[in-house]
Every structure is written in structure tokens, then in C-alpha cells.
Structure 1
Amino acid sequence: MRVAPNRSKQVFSREDTSTDPELSTRLEEWRLAGCDLLRQHQDEFSALLAPVELEIKRHRHAKAAALAQVAANHAVLWHPGSFASSRLDHLLWRLGSAALPFMAPRPKRPAGPLRVLHVVTQVSVIGGHGRMLWRWIGEDRQNRHSIALTRQTAPLPEPILRAVAAAGGSIDYVNRRIGGILDWARDLQAVFAKADLVVLHVHNQDVIPFVAMSGMAERPPVLLLNHADHVFWVGAGLVDGVISTRVSGHRLNVDRRSIPSDRNFLLPLCLDLPAPWSRTAARQALGLAEEDVVLLTVARAVKFRSLGGTSFADAICPILQADRRVRLIVIGPGKTVDWSAAETHAPGQITVKPETEDTEQFYAAADIYLDSFPFPSITSLLEAGLRGLPIVTRYAFGPGCEVMGADSVGMDTGLMRARSLRDFRHIITELVANQDRRIALGRQTMAEIRRTNMGATWRQELAGIYQAALTLPARIPTLPGNEEPRLDDLDAYLPFVFGTVLTRPSSAARLAHSRELGLKTMPGPQRLAAWGGMALRQEFAFRRGLSSVRNLVPEWLTVRLRMAAG
């Protein structure tokens, strides 16, 4: 179990007040526009919370739960100038206490392995979220691990099924039950009651586990894995502890989420050894020459948003033009990005492929790993470093915004951070020209990650967190406090860098977007009324026209049909 303050000084210098000069004009525009936008978002969020409180008072708990889910959706999609809401957390606690009283006494923990329950909203084979889950279970072999899924709509990835089977655990899909949020939370309570310790890997907006735990008179300790630390999440005032894998996220928990220091844990991201691949075979398979210098990036399309009119490929293009040996390979965006301008200026040197779980040959063929920008991809950086590649990231946003950049326990020493586009290009150019330096940096990074992110060291860190969680008293929610939006640079920048992009942004459009995401979990009459109003106003964003009728199908039925279809 690590303590972050000493390490944080190694990662970010508070004396560095600079931002990327290439983005300075755009950042200043965001500072000015962001203040008004944050106030709008906070007003919208507050307006969505008011009816939740009213329905709780009226004892219409199912409707209150659905409205709470819409409010949570909104806070995650449209940053309200805060990273947690004591008001929303308190409403969820009141809702769970009133609607789902679970009075069964908690049995004494039997001797032997811990029964660890991992609660997940949704998980797929692509991305670091699922990888952390199955690697955690696989590495912590001395304990028994089970999974409960609150909103899974597709079959689970095979690595998770294998990991749970090997751990002697079980898998519960609570949203297969006929009903909605309250029904699923009630089922989740029964699963909670059989665990010694609960770890939430849930999406930031998932209210189900918090309603469930709030109704339990006696429950196991509940920890939350802070896997999306850069945005708002539900439950900061309810969980017994928070596990971060980044110093920046760990620090933000204290500064902006009011997590007490003795409940604020730091754990390296769990990794496993990669499958062996021959560099020569990988290059031959990809049609690369031995003298080519390969720059690799692996991340989802959303992480490559263009800023200031400059795309990710545009930023690399001068390096490609200066040296025809250099190849840029980007795995993830596929055809969802338009990098045609860069491809025209560097013909044949840029390869863009869609998401795939089979990335090993690309890592094996690469010489330098570049982080995605402006949205970093932490798991991919670590996996590249573990394979002996030098890893480079671009951080453009200045002090106070560290959570918008890349850091993670295990790679903080080896990660090369560029503070500007010019610096980014300079670092890459030097690495392209110096093979010995590339190899030396890669080996150093690999050694640090192997020491930190796997094996006995990682298990020891995890055991310390388990022990602390089992001895801490259960968290008691505090009364709601002031929730005026903060107007720091971090808050002002977030809507533009990570926020949801609408074709015609407005308060009405944002509210409709959040409401549409919650339709399928609403009780029937509430769902029909909300759908009718949205249809009349033509507010649907995801399913328009006749396809919007699919929003009337309850989620539990959708899940059953998809699971039956395989």
C-alpha cells in the first residue's frame, strides 16, 4: 500500500507554470468560455436532483432511482465544476435506506481465503478496464473472486470467465432480472452479503451499487477502483475506501472529492507478462523493413480528438517528412478519424487500424511508443513499457491539470513527458536518431514496471489495502455541502478536451442526451411518458425516427435477448 505525497514530487513539478505554447490561444479561450459552461452544467445537474428528492419524499422509489441515474449520467457527461456530489450521494443513501432495508446480520468471516466480490457495470475485451479486472483476479490467487455485473449487455470476455473459474468464484448478471434499478440493487444486496470485501469497478455514473449498499444495516467493506479519475463519479461520500493507480488521481481524491487520507489508497495497475513475439516475424507480417523506425500508438478513437485544428497525425507529420524510414502505426481509430492531410504529406508512412485485442505483433515490431493525445491511454503506455519500448507522452495543460496527463505507478520514472508540441517532436526525433538510447530507455522502463506492477510486489501492495479496508469502520455519509462549481483551469478545460460533443449544443440537448441514456431502466409508465415527450420534441440523439421506439424496450429484456443470441 503506497503513500502518494512523496512520489507526487517525482512526477510533477509545481514550479513548472507553463502550458503548451502551440495551444495557448485555445487554452485561454477555454478559460473564458469554460466558466459560463460550468455554471450551466451545475444548474442543469442541480435541476435534475430536485425531482429525485421529491420522489423519495413521495415514496415513489423506483421513479426516484431512475431520475437519480439520469442526474448521474448528466454529471459525468457534462462536467459540473465538481468531481463528486455530496448531495447526490446523500440522496442515494436516503433512497437505499428507505426502499431497500436489508437487516440481515453479517455473519462472522470464516477462516481461509477472502471472498472478494468485484462489481462491474459493463466490460469488454478491448481496453484497460477489463484487463485490470482479469489480471487482478489472476494475480491474487490466494483469495476467492466473484463478479456481479449491473448493466452488462453482451457476453463476458473469455479471459474474465477463465479467471473467475480458476479463482473458484461465481458470476451474477443482476440486470437479467425483470425490473429496473431498484430490483437490480436488491439482488446485488444478496450478493454483497456473501462477500468479505467488495471492489467496485463500476462506470462513474452507475448508481446501482450505491443504492444497494445504502440499504444494508451490516455490509462488507466497499472499495472503489478509481479507473476514470479525470471526471466526476458517484459514491465518493459512500464508499469505505478508494483505490487509485495514479498519483494525480490519488491527489485529486483529497483535493476535490474529500476522501480522507486513511481511506485513500494507491495501487499499481496490474500487468502480466506478454506473449513472446519475434521482432523479425512481426515486421515481416506487417510488411516493414528492418531499417524502418516504427512509432506505435494504441488507444480508442475518442482519445485522438483534434485540438486547435491539429490532429494527432499532424503533430507527427514533420518527423515523418524529415525521415522516410519512420512509420506511424495507430491502432484504435480505424476510419473514424480524418487524417488525410497528414497522409498526403507523408504518403505510405501512416497506418491507422481499428480496435483489436490482438496487438502483440504491433508492440513487437515497434521501436518507440507514443501516448494518445489529448486523452492519455495509461494501460497501453504500461504495456508498451513492459515490452521494452521507450514511452513518450505529451502534456499540454499546465499545473493543476495533472490528472489530464499521463502518469501511473510503475512508469513514472521512465515516462518521457513533453510539455509542448515542439518538445514532443524533439524527443521523438532524438529517439529516432539514436537506437542505443531507445534500447537503454526501454530496458530501464521495463525493469521498473516488472518490479512494481506484477508478482510478489503487487500482491504485497494489494494485501496491505485489503488489511486496511477490513479494519476501517464503515463510512457514514455526511450531510450535503456547498456544491458551487470550481472555476480552476482543470474544470474549464475538461468540457473541451474530454467532454461529450453535440452537433447543436444547448441546455435542452444536454438534458435530453442524459435522459435518453436512462430511458431503458425507467419503470414502464415513466419510460413511456419520458419517451413521448422526447419524441414530440424530437430530442433523441442515439436512436432517431422509428428506431427511437427501441428505447421503449426495457433493458432487462434487451439483455436476455442479446445473451440468448450469443
Structure 2
Amino acid sequence: METLANNTLRVWQEQGRQLIPQNFAEFRRLLLQAKDLQERGNYEAAAVYAQIAANYAQLNHCGFFVSQELEQLLVKIGREAITSDVSRKNTSSHQTARNILHVSTHLANIGGISRLMWRWIKQDSSRSHCVALTRQALNQVPENLKEAVCNSQGNIYALGDRSGGIISRAKRLRECAAAADIVVLHTWEYDVVPTIAFANKEQFPPIIYTNHGDHWFWVGATISDAVANLRESGRLLSGQRRGIEAKRNLVLPTILEPAYRKLTRSQAKQQLGIDSNSVMLLSIARSVKYKTVDGVNFADAHVELLQQYKQAILIVIGAGSSNEDWSAAIEQTQGRIMVLKETKDTAVYYQAADIYVDSFPFISITSILEAGSYGVPAVSRYPYSSLACGVLGSDMPGLDGNLIRVRDIQEYTAALSGLIEDEQFRLSLGEATKIKIAQTHWGDNWQSALNELYAHVAALPRKTATLDIIDETSVGEPDVFLPSVNQTNVKTVMHWHMPLLPLPQRLSLWLSLVKKYGFRNNPLNTLMSEKWRSHYYQWRSRY
């Protein structure tokens, strides 16, 4: 067990060194296809292939976190394909800025981007907020976001609810931005619509990119006047690897709903049917974050601890929908490891918890913050030796100084043992964590940080596009570890974006995929346009 992390990291490093050049070669192939289409004036298909390239680079790390060549191509498409000028309807200074346009791709009821957006809009109540969605129907928008926008006297625009593809959506986004004082991007990392829409930056208000996925490759650096990183490790990587100037490279803590206890720990445990004298360890994340490493799964890492402390139990929410087999660990601990499916109703679990344990090998920062908001101390594993890998670990402004980070399983077990044995230390650390989170991530305190961000960005000279830079790759840290986080077949990426292609290119791509992967792996429904595919899946869901 002592060498598990080191052995695993060496394996991941070797895999990364092999996969990064392969991934980069595939990315280049997709980028060249997009460039060829752009040069031939087929801007719609060029934009889709550019988005496929971006999504591929996001899901299959290519040794960089931004592609200047891809950004240059998108700016060219925007300038050549959209010729109409847009007159600014608002030219307010930062002191009077009142109209904010938020841009996102697709929002769900569960997810960090959705929560951050509606909390942002709800908190920033003195301004009017509109939302533009590049790939979502109005009837799919989460109700809490609709309510927050409505209360701010704003509107929600579904840019894809008319016929047309990426270029038409970019045109509509330009129109939406004409009335805004500031544009805030919350888009998915691959979304090329804003970069195309805002290619002529002098026509538009200041643009802030909210860096939700700081460990991913993403598109939009060229058009963004500032990057609002959610944590310090993201800010460092944005400066070092995305070339974001220091004056444009900022930190805005994620906003949280204030968490007030409705139940004592004992009451919450009673409600869950748990012995009030137990010490409850809690972890909440999506199932993919509990990946088995070298045959040792997340549950195995707690067996020795739970065998030593019979009063301790571990509840893991989210892992219940995975295919991981934790039965041996559950049996060895007499059922004191409980695995549940993903749920939105987590408040009672946070209130019952004595200690929060971060998911591993992939972190879940939002869950740590939510646990800390209830006064629950947290422990997270960080097996990396380099600060360059900071984005692969847990950090947030409200956790600084209170989150316990450990290198290996021995330190992890020792830290948890200390918390189990010393109730006073456990309670005092939990309270300190809650106070720091409240001072940083709640209500008026967060609002002050937001007001400073708006003012700073509005006062900056406008960003200009950087041209004629050739992409370079790295097989150092953290790059070599990222292919182990995710690798996705290019066919899967193409299937996701194929509905956006004009019919001739869609048919051509489908035939090439059939030739390479077979008809069975490329059914006829993949030929549907996005509008018809959406109707098709809605119909299937009813039967």
C-alpha cells in the first residue's frame, strides 16, 4: 500500500507520454479539416469541425490547455462569415453597469455550472441578467435558473431554437450582446459559438471567461478580456499555460448558498437510521470520480481504518451508479461502508457527517465546500509531488488553511484517525472551515468580490487577438497525468457534434465512419439534424 500512489503515478506518466503525441496528431487532423473548409468558404462545416477538434482536445489531452491555431481559425470564421455590424445599445461605465449577459451551452439540474449561474444571478440582484444558451431548448432550462433570471427582469435566449447551425447561433449571440454592459461566459469547454460571435471585439462589451474547467483544454482565451478563475491553482495554470496576462488573470470564488443547520448531527443521523454515537465519514461525487486504481478501490482505502474504529462508518453518495465492485470491502467492515446512488437531496447527509472525505482519484471540490459550509472538516488526497499539478488537487479560497491534504494512504489513514479520536479538534476544524467559507463564498462577501471583478474588467484596455502562433505540446506535469483522467474515442465526439453539420457534410462524415467502424456502430439516427434528434430521443424516452 505504501507505494501505491508512486506506482500508479509512474504508470500514468508513461501512458501520458505515449498518448499525448497520438492525441495531438488526431487533433491536428481535425484542425486541418476545419481550416480547409474555412478556406473554401464553407464556414458552417468549418465551425463544426473546429468544435469537434476542441471537444476532442478537451477529452483527450494533447499536451496543451489552449490552441492558438484553433482560436485564430475561429476568429477568421467569425470575421469572414458574419459581416453585419452590431451597434452597441449600452456603453455604461463599470459604476453604472446594470445589464449582464451570461452565455452557456447546456444546463442541467445537477452540475456546478448551473448552480454557479443561478446563484450568481440571484445574489447579484441589483442588476438585470439575461442568459443565452447555445445548445439547449427553453423547455429544458432548470426552473431555479428561470426564476432567478425572471426576478432580475432578464430573458433567456435559446440560440438553437431556430433552423441553422453554429454560424446562425453566433449571429444571434451578437444580437443578444448588443444590450449588455458585460458578457460572462460559462460555456462548456469545447463551445466555439462565443469565439466566432465576438471575433470583432471592438463591437462588444467586456468579456469575462469563467474558468469552471481549469484542468481541461478550453476555447475562448482569445476573445476574453479577463479570466475569472475559481481557485488559485487555476489562476496559476491560466498564466503559465494559457498565456493569460496577470492583469487579466483573476480569482472569483464560486458562490455558495448559505448553509444553515436545521438538524443537529444526532438528529440527522437519527433521520438516516444511523447510531447517533457513530462517527460518520461522508463522500459525495459522480461515480466516475471513484475509479479503481491498481486493483485498489475507494472503499478498500478505508477498510483498515474502519476495522480499527468500530464506531466509524463510511457513506458514499454517487458511487452507487458505477460498476465498481466494493462488496469485499463492505463485507470486511460488516456493512459499515454504504454506497448510494446520486441524489440532489444531500443536506441531511452533510448535517449528519462528522468528517468529509474527498473522492479519489478524482476530486470533487463543490462537495467539499458544501460539507464545510455545515462545519464538517475535510480530508483530501494529493499524491503529486509537483505544484504544477495543483489543478488536479482540491483547493478553493474558502478552504485555504483548513483543508487537510495528504500524500498517500498512510497519511490519509493517520489524518482520519486523528479526527476520529479527537472530537474537540474535529469540531474546531469544522467550525473554522465554515467561518472561512462564509467569509469567502457567501452572500454579501462574495458580492464584494464580484463588484471588484466587474469594475476591474471594465477598466482594462480591450483584449486584442494574438495571431500566427503555432501550437506546442508538453509531456511534463500536469499533462502526463491528464490522459488517465479521460480518453474518448473520436467517433463518439463526432457523433455528438454531427447533427450540427450541414446535410452534405453530415452524410459524408457518416459514410466515412460506417466504412471505418461499421454500420452497427453508426446507426441511421446519427444522421438526424440536432432538432430532429432531440425530438427522436424525447419520443424514445416516453416508450
Which bin holds the TM-score, normalised by the shorter protein? over 0.9
Deviations 1:508-556 (A, max 9, x none): xx3323222211111111112211221233268xxx558x322122113
| Residue identity in the other structure for 1:94 | K
Q: Is 1:294 matched up with 2:276? A: no
1:141-540 correspondence to structure 2 within 5 Å? 141-152=125-136, 155-215=140-200, 218-274=203-259, 276-279=261-264, 280-336=266-322, 337-399=324-386, 400-496=388-484, 498-500=485-487, 510-538=489-517
Deviations 1:330-372 (A, max 9, x none): 1112231321221121231111111111111111111101111
Question: CA–CA distance in 1 between the matches of 2:274 and 2:61?
Answer: 43
Q: Is 1:557 matched up with 2:532? A: yes
What is the root-mean-square deviation in Å for CA atoms of aligned residues? 2.1
Match of 1:83 in 2: 65
SS of corresponding position for 2:316: strand
Larger relative contact order (CA 8 Å, sep ≥ 6): 1
C-alpha deviation, 1:120, in angstroms: 0.9
Question: CA–CA distance in 2 between the matches of 1:110 and 1:30?
Answer: 50
- Contact 2:90/2:178, CA 8 A, preserved across alignment: no
Find 2:74's aligned residue among 60, 69, 92: 92
Deviates more, 1:214-223 or 1:524-533: 214-223
Question: CA–CA distance in 2 between the matches of 1:319 and 1:127?
Answer: 32
C-alpha deviation, 1:307, in angstroms: 1.8
Question: CA–CA distance in 2 between the matches of 1:415 and 1:176?
Answer: 44
Question: CA–CA distance in 1 between the matches of 2:130 and 2:445?
Answer: 23
- Contact 2:90/2:180, CA 8 A, preserved across alignment: no
C-alpha deviation, 1:428, in angstroms: 0.7
Question: CA–CA distance in 1 between the matches of 2:517 and 2:39?
Answer: 32
C-alpha deviation, 1:562, in angstroms: 7.0
State the TM-score, normalizing by the size of structure 1: 0.90
SS of corresponding position for 1:401: helix
- Contact 1:73/1:517, CA 8 A, preserved across alignment: no
- Contact 1:101/1:215, CA 8 A, preserved across alignment: no
| Residue identity in the other structure for 1:263 | R
Match of 1:119 in 2: 103
C-alpha deviation, 1:559, in angstroms: 4.2
Q: Percent identity?
A: 36
Gapped regions of structure 1 (runs ≥ 5): 1-19, 502-509
- Contact 1:38/1:81, CA 8 A, preserved across alignment: yes
Deviates more, 1:253-262 or 1:210-219: 210-219
- Contact 1:126/1:355, CA 8 A, preserved across alignment: no
- CA 1:252–1:110 in structure 2 vs 1: closer, same or farther (change >3 Å)? closer
C-alpha deviation, 1:563, in angstroms: 8.1
Question: CA–CA distance in 2 between the matches of 1:340 and 1:348?
Answer: 9
| Residue identity in the other structure for 1:316 | H
- Contact 1:137/1:164, CA 8 A, preserved across alignment: yes
- CA 1:292–1:353 in structure 2 vs 1: closer, same or farther (change >3 Å)? same
Question: CA–CA distance in 1 between the matches of 2:277 and 2:472?
Answer: 57
Deviations 1:474-523 (A, max 9, x none): 22111232322111131111111x1136xxxxxxxx33232222111111
- CA 1:287–1:96 in structure 2 vs 1: closer, same or farther (change >3 Å)? same
State the TM-score, normalizing by the size of structure 2: 0.94
- Contact 1:100/1:215, CA 8 A, preserved across alignment: no
SS of corresponding position for 1:234: coil
Gapped regions of structure 2 (runs ≥ 5): none
| Residue identity in the other structure for 2:100 | V
Match of 2:55 in 1: 73
- Contact 2:260/2:374, CA 8 A, preserved across alignment: no
Question: CA–CA distance in 1 between the matches of 2:461 and 2:217?
Answer: 25
Match of 2:118 in 1: 134
C-alpha deviation, 1:155, in angstroms: 1.5
Question: CA–CA distance in 2 between the matches of 1:110 and 1:484?
Answer: 40
C-alpha deviation, 1:55, in angstroms: 1.2
